[in-house]
Structure 1
């Protein structure tokens, strides 16, 4: 009887966690807070930069999981429509005086995340063979839900 109760309790707890995680997850379908751009391989100027505020109220480690870190908004910060070529990589990175993170929903529907892959505490994601399509970009603040000044960089040449 105790074992049946424990399994039932565990299943109920997992169901609650699944619903809670889905309710707090990022919604890439929402309009991005700082707009968007369409770029094709070989774009200029390179890098394409956007000043924004990192952060949000959602803990990406709980809403997305995996290696995602930082507090991000529900809606994307920025949206990139990218037309890839066959030679150049795509590099999305952030520069900030604060500890920031990067969360990207790629054209394949997968979540890509980085914490300190750039210089210092700056995040950077690199696709050596990038996909064409929509990249929904979230810039997070590591450690708490505060908002910090940051610069988003989209490049085929360099990262921060």
Structure 2
């Protein structure tokens, strides 16, 4: 009986954890429309990094780009509606006061995750051939703490 109770409790716990995972079906805190030419000059967006959902408990997210820890909110911090991206690569990076992490879901519904590629414990993701459309962005932290951060987007010619 004790084993049955533990199995039920574990199943309920995993179901509620999965429901709180980052999801592009959630409404973002901020929405922006930007084009490749506009992002040729770097744009910055302030955000509080962090969240309560451990990324590797979310089975539907399989970014394969990094294996570091990361905690994120369920709703994206930003949704960017991109246009005129055909001849650009897009760089998304974070500058923060803590060990931050970055999670994105692209217009082609691919997940990307990074922990430290921007240096100083900050993340950076380069999309070499971004599609026009919606990109959702979460700025989290390595350890689940919260801190002030800045998301930066910039395009470069391919």
Aligned length: 144
Specify the alignment match of 1:5 in structure 2: none
User: What is the TM-score with the length of structure 1 in the denominator?
Assistant: 0.79
Contact kept? 1:81, 1:135, Cα under 8 Å: yes
Query: Following the alignment from structure 2 to structure 1, what is the Cα–Cα distance between the partners of residues 131 and 145?
Result: 32
What 5-or-longer segments of structure 1 have no aligned partner? 1-8
For residues 32-43 of structure 1, the aligned pairs below 5 Å read: 32-33=28-29, 35-43=30-38
Quote the offset at 1:57 in angstroms. 0.7
Structure 1 or 2, whichever has the larger Rg, is: 1
For 2:100, the equivalent position in structure 1 comes to: 100
Is the counterpart of residue 53 in structure 1 residue 48 in structure 2? yes
* Partner residue in 2 for 1:82: 82
CA contact (8 A) 2:39 2:155 kept: no
Determine if contact 1:69/1:114 at 8 Å carries over to the other structure.
no
* Alpha carbons of structure 1 residues 62 and 44: separation in structure 2 relative to 1, 3 Å: closer
Please give the TM-score of this superposition, normalised by the length of structure 2. Answer: 0.80
Corresponding position of 2:114: 114
Residue 21 of structure 1: CA displacement? 5.4
Q: Contact between 1:26 and 1:75, CA under 8 Å: does it hold in 2?
A: yes
State the partner residue of 2:148: 149
Are 1:86 and 1:129, in contact at CA under 8 Å, matched by a contact in 2?
yes
Deviation at 1:50, TM superposition (A): 0.5
Give every structure 1 segment of 4 or more consecutive aligned residues whose post-TM-superposition deviation is greater than 4 Å: none
Question: What are the ranges of 5 or more consecutive residues in structure 2 without an aligned counterpart?
Answer: none
For the residue of structure 2 that corresponds to 1:76, the secondary structure is coil
Higher strand share: 2
Other-structure match for 1:132: 132
Return the alpha-carbon distance in structure 1 between the equivalents of residues 107 and 134 of structure 2.
5
Does 1:28 pair with 2:24?
Answer: yes
Cα distance, 1:113 vs. partner?
0.4
Q: 1:25 to 1:79 in 2, by over 3 A?
A: same
